[in-house]
Each structure stands twice: as C-alpha cells, then as structure tokens.
C-alpha cells in the first residue's frame, strides 16, 4: 500500500507542488511550563445555531459543538482545561442548561480537544465516550501519547472513559444518532463524526472531521511507537473520501473557515455551513500534504 501511495505522492508533487497548512493548531508544540497553542484557542466566539439541532459553543480557534435533543444534549470536544467556563457560558447564552449535557465526545486525544473533559464530567455527570485507540491516552492524561507523552506541558487531568467506541459504532440520544468513524493517524483513535440533521423540512448530512493533519515532528517512516501510522493515515483518507457530506465541520474552525462563514451566516446569507465542495477540497488538500510528507520521509530514510 505504501509503495503505491509514495508513487502517487510523487506524481502530485510534480504536478503542482504541495503547500503546507498555515493552521496555527499545527504549530510545533514547545517544551516548558506553558502549554503551547494559538491565542485564539482561548478567545470567545459568538455561540450560534449552525443548522438543525447543532450549535457552535467553542472558541475562535477550538471548535466545540452542542447537539440538542429532548433527552438531553451531546457535547463534542471539551478543549483546554481553561475552556470549560467559556463552553458553559456559550451553552447558557443559547438558552440551554449546561447540566443537561448527557454525553461527552471528542475528536481526538490531544490536550486542546480533551483537557477539559474531567471537569465537564464532574460538573454535568455526562458519560464520556472515546474511540478505542485513544482510551489509554485519555485515561493517562496524555502520558501514553505516542508523540507528546514525554512533554509534561501537554498533559491534562486523566479522565475515566465510560464507554469504549469502535469504528462504526453509533451514539444515540433522544432523536439524534451519530456514527463514529475511526480516522486514525493524527492520533490512534482520531474520530470523525457523522450525523443527519433536519432544516426547513430537508435532511442534511453533517461530517465533523477529527484531524487528517500530519503535525510537525511526526514520523511516518520507521516510527517505533506507532509503526502503522502511515497505513492508518491512508485508511483514514479512504474513510473521509467515502463519507457523503453536506455540512462540513471540524475540530478546529480553521478547517472549514468558520469566521468567514459565520460572518456570512450573520448577514443572512444562504447557510454557508452547507459546503460539500469545501469538504472535498479540504480532504484532497490534506491527503496531498500527507503524501508529500510521506514521500519526503521515505526518501530521507533511504539515504540513511
């Protein structure tokens, strides 16, 4: 599989070059006492209904989603330890009760998406559901992460998982059902969520991308802690390309240009979050970036 991927990556690179993402969330984590990250990770962003029963309750840089149902609510991503008051305020500003969050999900086990989970569980009593490959990292507070486990600045409160998810599992609450798609690579249990929502008498297919990005410092070749990382990325892109998508969302708002789309939404434009073409373009761009990095690392390994 990897040989075919490397050959394909060479063709793509020669065809037009591959541009690295400018997403600040992909900045190389630093060592030291202060946790790394972009300032916009902690900056408030207007909470608002995106489509159907889905609401944005995250910060400018870190996405969190509230999915409301008659039986309580589902929250996707707890973000930083310091994000919990912001998420709570956003939920309550929308007229919902924070304590009605019954299920907590994440996109993947990195501190910028799951460090607030212990506090949210404590405050709401929500059940914490995590994909199998990420359970050990979550329950160790980041210590068992294949890339960042040795960096104390990237650790967070260890949190007990109430239900271990597997690829294709369904999470149901009230009248809403989500499907957990394992799109590993970025983490061993990186999860892309899909669900259907209704708006103005129509049904729309929502995809919330976990992360297809190759962080600086990731080894795709000869990775002893995670030898199958390249195959997992390749498999994950296959999953992403197979998912039908009307509404494109992700773990960071920058994936789908949240700020620009919110401006259009606020102006009363046709719902800008409905963006099937944007989803396809994003996945294709990230796959090309992966293939380029895989090609470069493979070539480098051969020279050693």
The pLDDT tens digits of the residues spanning 75-119 come to 999 999 999 999 999 999 999 999 999 999 999 999 999 999 999
Q: What Å distances lie between residue 269 and 54, 70, 127, 274, CA to CA?
A: 18, 29, 37, 11
Write a three-state SS string for 139-192.
HCCCCCCCCCCCCHHHCCCCCCCCEEECCCCEEEECCEEEEEEECCCCCCCCEE
Q: What is the pLDDT of residues 291-300, one digit of tens each?
A: 999 999 999 8
pLDDT of residue 13: 32
Write the CATH number for 282. Answer: 3.60.15.10
162 within a domain of the structure (yes/no): yes
pLDDT of residue 12: 32
Q: Over 50: is that where the pLDDT of 288 sits?
A: yes
30 within a domain of the structure (yes/no): no
**Confidence label for 244 from pLDDT (cuts 50, 70 and 90):** very high
169 within a domain of the structure (yes/no): yes
Q: What is the pLDDT of residues 9-66, one digit of tens each?
A: 333 332 233 233 333 333 433 333 334 678 999 999 999 999 999 999 999 999 999 9
Q: Is residue 204 within 8 Å of residue 52, measured between CB atoms?
A: yes
Q: Over 90: is that where the pLDDT of 3 sits?
A: no
3-state secondary structure of 211: coil
* Residue 7 phi, psi dihedral angles, 5° rounding: -60, -45
80 within a domain of the structure (yes/no): yes
pLDDT of residue 36: 62
Looking at the structure of the chain, the number of domains it has is 1
7 within a domain of the structure (yes/no): no
Mean pLDDT value of segment 249-257: 98
- 44 vs 96: CA distance, rounded Å: 18
The percent of the chain in helix, strand and coil, each rounded to the nearest 5, is 40, 20, 40
Q: What is the pLDDT of residues 270-282, one digit of tens each?
A: 999 999 999 999 9
**Confidence label for 304 from pLDDT (cuts 50, 70 and 90):** confident
**Domain boundaries, position 51:** 41-303
| Count of residues in the chain | 304
pLDDT of residue 269: 83
What crossing angle do the helices spanning 229-242 and 2-16 adopt, rounded to 10°? 70
pLDDT of residue 302: 85
Reading phi first (left if > 0) and then psi (alpha if -120 to 50, else beta), residue 23 is in beta
Q: What is the pLDDT of residues 139-170, one digit of tens each?
A: 999 999 999 999 999 999 999 999 999 999 99
Task: State how beta strands 54-56 and 48-51 pair.
Answer: antiparallel
57 within a domain of the structure (yes/no): yes
Give the residue carrying structure tokens 């708006």: 199
pLDDT of residue 14: 27
- 37 vs 68: CA distance, rounded Å: 29
15 within a domain of the structure (yes/no): no
23 within a domain of the structure (yes/no): no
pLDDT of residue 287: 98
**Confidence label for 219 from pLDDT (cuts 50, 70 and 90):** very high
Q: Is residue 298 within 8 Å of residue 10, measured between CB atoms?
A: no
């Amino acid at each position: 599989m990897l040989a075919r991927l490397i050959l394909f990556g060479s063709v793509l690179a020669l065809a037009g070059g591959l541009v690295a993402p400018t997403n600040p969330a992909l900045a190389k984590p630093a060592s030291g006492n202060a946790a790394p990250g972009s300032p916009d990770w902690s900056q408030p962003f207007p909470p608002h209904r995106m489509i159907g029963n889905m609401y944005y309750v995250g910060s400018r840089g870190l996405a969190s989603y509230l999915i409301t149902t008659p039986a309580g609510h589902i929250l996707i991503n707890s973000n930083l330890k310091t994000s919990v008051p912001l998420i709570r305020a956003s939920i309550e500003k929308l007229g919902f009760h924070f304590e009605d969050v019954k299920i907590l999900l994440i996109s993947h086990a990195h501190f910028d998406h799951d460090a607030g989970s212990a506090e949210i569980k404590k405050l709401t009593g929500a059940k914490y559901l995590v994909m199998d490959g990420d359970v050990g990292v979550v329950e160790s507070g980041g210590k068992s992460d294949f890339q960042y486990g040795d960096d104390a600045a990237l650790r967070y409160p260890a949190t007990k998982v109430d239900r271990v998810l597997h690829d294709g599992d369904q999470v149901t609450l009230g009248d809403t059902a989500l499907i957990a798609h394992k799109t590993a690579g970025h983490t061993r249990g990186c999860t892309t969520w899909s669900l259907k929502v209704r708006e103005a008498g129509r049904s729309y297919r929502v995809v919330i991308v976990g992360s297809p990005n190759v962080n600086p410092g990731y080894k795709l070749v000869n990775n002893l802690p995670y030898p199958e990382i390249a195959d997992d990325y390749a498999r994950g892109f296959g999953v992403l390309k197979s998912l039908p998508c009307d509404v494109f969302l992700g773990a960071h708002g920058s994936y789908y240009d949240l700020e620009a789309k919110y401006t259009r939404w606020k102006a009363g434009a046709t719902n800008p979050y409905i963006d099937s073409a944007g989803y396809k373009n994003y996945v294709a761009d990230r796959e090309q970036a992966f293939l380029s990095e895989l090609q470069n690392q493979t070539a480098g390994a051969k020279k050693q």
